[in-house]
Amino acid sequence: MISSKATYTVNSMAKPNKGRLTAAIDDHVGGRIRERRIMLGLTQQQFAEMIGVTYQQAHKYERGINRVSAGRLFEIARALSAPITYFFEGIGEEGPRPILPHQRTLLEITRNIAEIRNEKHREAISQLARALASG
C-alpha cells in the first residue's frame, strides 16, 4: 500500500548561505553606501531617518550584514543623491579601495564646510582655499 503522507525536510526551509560572490557584492554595495554617506557629512542616524529605518539597520546595510533590496537601494540612491550605478562601481576590481589620508582629509573638510550655516562664511572659506591652491 502506498502512503499518502507527504514528507518534508527541515533543511529546505532553512535560509540559504550567501555565496562568496554574492557576499562580496553585498559588502561592496554597503561600503559604497557608507562612503557616500560620509562624503555628504551625514551620521548613520541622519541617514537612517532619511530612508525610514533604524540606525542599526543602516549600519547592517553599510557592513553588508543585511542585503539591500532593489526598492531600498532606490530610496538610498535618492536620499544620497547618487545614481543606483554608483553603488556598483568598482565591482570586480582587485581588492578593496582604501581611503587614502588625503581623501579622508578632503571628506572631513567637505563635511565641516557643509556644517557652516552662514553662506558668507562658506564663500570666504571657498575663496581662501582657491587662493591657497593657486599660490
Asked if pLDDT for residue 102 goes beyond 60, the answer is yes
Domain ranges of the chain: 18-96, 98-135
Q: What share of the chain is helix, strand, coil (3-state, %, to 5)?
A: 65, 0, 35
pLDDT at 67: 93
Model confidence pLDDT, tens digit, residues 44-88: 999 999 999 999 999 999 999 999 999 999 999 999 999 999 999
Report the helix count and the strand count for the chain, using DSSP H and E.
6, 0
Topology of the domain covering 18-96:
434 Repressor (Amino-terminal Domain) (1.10.260)
pTM: 0.62
